[in-house]
Amino acid sequence: MLREDIVESLLGKTTQKKKSRIPAKLDFLQSATGLILAIFIILHLLFESSILLGKDSMYALTKMFELDFFIKGGSSIFISILAFIIFAIFIFHAFLAMRKFPNSYREYLRLKTHAKLMKHKDTNLWIIQITTGFMLFFLGSIHLYIVLTEPQNIGPFASSDRIYSDTFYPLYFMLLISVVLHAGVGVYRLIMKWGWFDGKNPKENRVKTRKIVKAITIFYLVLGLFSLMAYIKIGYDHQKHYGERYTPNMEIKNEN
Ligand code: HEM
């Protein structure tokens, strides 16, 4: 049973009024923007983990995003442009998702009780998705605003200084957990909704899909946590040189 059906049956509403095509269109747009953002996050966390291969790797990737192969030395304006596009999709996706939030606290409580009584896995997943989605409104916006307005402050030292010395690690920790769970549950629900991998045996394939999405979600959580720890370690070692920018092959002048 879909979440909308549950809410409607709980509230005694009926869908058999006027048939409008708008909800279906909005639903499609929500799925499409969600998919774009999920693909972006999958790639983003992989690129971000380049720090695990060393500072030179992360530096080279940052320069690539500044299009240094196109403009001599690169320009951080390209990072701002990308951040602006992602921010616009993020806001539009959140706006569309607002339709699906419970309209009142009472509705939310009824839904929670219902999920508990039924032990309905998909309803529980939906609760994870609105909770993490709500957190992303704030955490995602802070992060996106910073990369949009300070694109020059991205790099092995600049990012690590922000994470350690500017105390951004609690924010990134919460952002990582919420975005990975949100994207994992979101992609799983998309696959179920549109029946992408149903094949000839939907029941069996859905169980398999669930396991695969769960494994990928755990992989990304672990990868993100290791990357975050690498940034914290570099930031800790670099704290006395806060503000200094990284250049390839340079050594940290560790005075500790
Ligand atoms: C074009 C847009 C984006 C850019 C340029 C960008 C860039 C970055 C950079 C450079 C970092 C390293 C830390 C830092 O320098 O502050 C980072 C970390 C992170 N970003 Fe983004 N980001 C973007 C969009 C997003 C979005 C939309 C999300 C999720 C809503 C997100 C989630 C994260 C997370 C969870 C981390 C921590 C990574 C980890 O623990 O490995 N980012 N991002």
Q: What is the pLDDT along the chain (256 residues), one digit of tens a residue?
A: 455 555 555 554 555 556 788 888 999 999 999 999 999 999 999 999 999 999 999 999 999 999 999 999 899 999 999 999 999 999 999 999 888 777 777 777 777 777 666 666 677 888 899 899 999 999 999 999 999 999 999 999 999 999 999 999 999 999 999 999 999 999 999 999 888 888 888 889 889 999 999 999 999 999 999 999 999 999 999 999 999 999 987 755 544 4
pLDDT score recorded for residue 1 = 47
pLDDT score recorded for residue 107 = 75
pLDDT score recorded for residue 100 = 78
Q: What is the 3-state secondary structure (H, E, C) of the chain?
A: CCHHHHHHHHHCCCCCCCCCCHHHHHHHHHHHHHHHHHHHHHHHHHHHHHHHHCHHHHHHHHHHHCCCCCCCCCCCHHHHHHHHHHHHHHHHHHHHHHHHCCCCHHHHHHHHHHHHHHCCHHHHHHHHHHHHHHHHHHHHHHHHHHHHHCHHHCCHHHHHHHHHCCCCHHHHHHHHHHHHHHHHHHHHHHHHHHCCCCCCCHHHHHHHHHHHHHHHHHHHHHHHHHHHHHHHHHHHHHHHHCCCCCCCCCCCCCCC
pLDDT score recorded for residue 20 = 81
Please name the residue whose Cα sits nearest to atom 2 of ligand 1.
83
Please name the residue whose Cα sits nearest to atom 23 of ligand 1.
144
pLDDT score recorded for residue 2 = 52
Please name the residue whose Cα sits nearest to atom 30 of ligand 1.
140
Please name the residue whose Cα sits nearest to atom 29 of ligand 1.
140
Q: pTM for the complete prediction?
A: 0.88
Structure tokens at 155: 């790099």
pLDDT digit string, tens, across residues 60-103: 999 999 999 999 989 999 999 999 999 999 999 999 988 877 77
Q: How far is the CA of 233 from the centre of ligand 1 (A)?
A: 18
pLDDT score recorded for residue 256 = 43
Measured CA to CA, the distance from residue 145 to residue 147 in angstroms comes to 6
Q: Which residues are near ligand 1 (CB < 6 Å)?
A: 41, 44-45, 48, 79, 82-83, 86, 90, 136, 140, 143-144, 147, 154, 159, 162-163, 172, 175-176, 179, 224, 227-228
pLDDT score recorded for residue 3 = 55
Please name the residue whose Cα sits nearest to atom 37 of ligand 1.
172
Q: How far is the CA of 242 from the centre of ligand 1 (A)?
A: 20
Q: How many CB atoms lie within 10 A of CB 167?
A: 10
Burial letters 34-73, b for 16+ CB under 10 A, else e: bbebbebbeeebeebbbbeeebeebbebbeeebeeeeeee
pLDDT score recorded for residue 255 = 44
Task: Choose one of 143, 168, 172, 231 to mutate for the ligand 1 pocket test, by most ligand atoms within 8 angstroms of C-beta.
Answer: 143
pLDDT score recorded for residue 199 = 84
Q: Which domains does the chain have, with CATH numbers?
A: 22-241 (1.20.1300.10)
Contact 197, 191 (CB under 8 A): yes
Measured CA to CA, the distance from residue 188 to residue 198 in angstroms comes to 12
User: Minimal CA–CA distance to 226: which of 13, 15, 20, 45?
Assistant: 45
Q: How far is the CA of 219 from the centre of ligand 1 (A)?
A: 17
pLDDT score recorded for residue 123 = 75
Q: How far is the CA of 143 from the centre of ligand 1 (A)?
A: 7
